[in-house]
Amino acid sequence: MAHFRIERGYLREGRWPIAGVDEAGRGPLAGPVAVAAVILDPDNLPRGLDDSKALTMEAREKLYELIMKKALAVSVALSSAREIDRINIRQATLTAMSRAAHGLSLKPMHVLVDGKDVPDGLPCDGEAIIKGDATSFSIAAASIIAKVTRDRLMNRLAKLYPVYGFDSHAGYGTKAHIAAIEAHGPCPYHRFSFAPLKNKAS
């Protein structure tokens, strides 16, 4: 269960603000990867924070609004399908993480990043935490903001390209999605560096 102990430890040392950073959408065949950076208010923490993957869509939507209302700063950055194709998904994700951290209205003194890698070019020191979205409230909050932001974007893409069903699978490689690609070909928001889309770019 996520908690705020890591952040409070830094707070006691006088290292504040602390930002949590997480992404959504590394694995899909279409759409951007979305990254959020969040600085929570230690005196006004949203209740119910957890890894976005452990929450229902309804719970994520409610927490999104609560985080946006209570957090001291929130920033979102995207890396497009074309950027992902150009520099690979890992580098695109790390680049977006750095962008999100720099986009915060408060400059963090330390950044907690979900995963194994600390992005280059952060505005301060960074620390990678494996399964951080299930450990740190700040990272969990970032995971929720990133996930809801990306899901909303994919819902908008579904209206532009209804044949793919982006609103039901968010671009992941479901059987229905792959069948739609086979039937209709890819759209400009597909990731052509991902199998089974390689060599299908128009």
pLDDT at 50: 87
Quick check: 72 and 41 in contact, CB under 8 A? yes
Whole-number Cα distances in Å, 28 to 33, 72, 150, 191, 193:
9, 31, 11, 8, 11
Residue 202, pLDDT above cutoff 60: no
Residue 195 pLDDT level (bands cut at 50, 70, 90):
confident
pTM: 0.96
pLDDT digits 0-9 by tens, 99-157: 999 999 999 999 999 999 999 999 999 999 999 999 999 999 999 999 999 999 999 99
pLDDT at 137: 97
Which structural domains are found in the chain, ordered by start?
5-184 (3.30.420.10)
pLDDT digits 0-9 by tens, 23-72: 999 999 999 999 999 999 999 999 999 888 889 999 999 999 999 999 99
